[in-house]
Amino acid sequence: MSVKQFLDEYGRSRTASPSVRVFADVAGTPRTPAPTWWNHPVTIMFVAVIGAALSFTAPALPALSGLLVAISGVALASLAEIDRGRWSASRARAVEESVWIADQCGYRVDTAGGVLRWRNDERSMVARLGHRGGGWDLVLLDVEAPALGSDR
């Protein structure tokens, strides 16, 4: 276990990290940027509609420039939606791979309702899947997982 700084109600304190094990690069990620607010299809279309309206009403630009901006926005939003599907499929593959890899190392990891958990002899613990660099990382935490009924 490594020692990291965490904030608590008394300020900074040095406590043990809650992570038990990190499996790095259990699966690859797509080469495109991860889905965030700026590459969401709705955001792209919103910006494209505003840009098309402004370029259509600008007296210095030809009227077809608004149409070209709108068509470009639809194309970019479509590509962003395809990219979101790739990231979703990549995460699903990473969940399958992480369960298999953890099982090979003697950890019992399973998914319940789309939530990763790992089990020791006494209790169910939190497992997280995050992406960093070019791959998905599985992190097993020493934090007890909430009951499935209270996840709502």
- Residue 140 located in a structural domain: yes
- Residue 4 located in a structural domain: no
CA neighbours within 13 Å on the CB side: how many for 71?
5
User: For residue 130, is pLDDT > 50?
Assistant: yes
Helix (H) or strand (E) holding 8: strand 3-8
pTM: 0.76
Straight-line distance from the first to the last Cα atom of the chain, in angstroms, rounded to the nearest whole number: 32
Q: pLDDT tens digits for 67-109?
A: 999 999 999 999 999 999 999 999 999 999 999 999 999 999 9
- Residue 79 located in a structural domain: yes
Q: pLDDT tens digits for 30-74?
A: 999 999 999 999 999 999 999 999 999 999 999 899 999 999 999
Instruction: Of 26, 2, 30, give the one whose Cα is nearest residue 16.
Output: 2
- Residue 10 located in a structural domain: no
**Residue 1 — pLDDT band, cuts 50, 70, 90?**
very low
- Residue 12 located in a structural domain: no
What's the domain range around 72?
Answer: 18-150
| Residue 127 burial by Cβ neighbours in a 10 Å radius (0-12, 13-18, 19+) | buried
Residue-wise DSSP of 55-121:
HHH-TTS-THHHHHHHHHHHHHHHHHHHHHHHHHHHHHHHHHHHHHHHHHTT-EEEEETTEEEEE-S
Number of domains in the chain: 1
What gap in Å lies between CA 49 and CA 61, rounded to an integer? 16
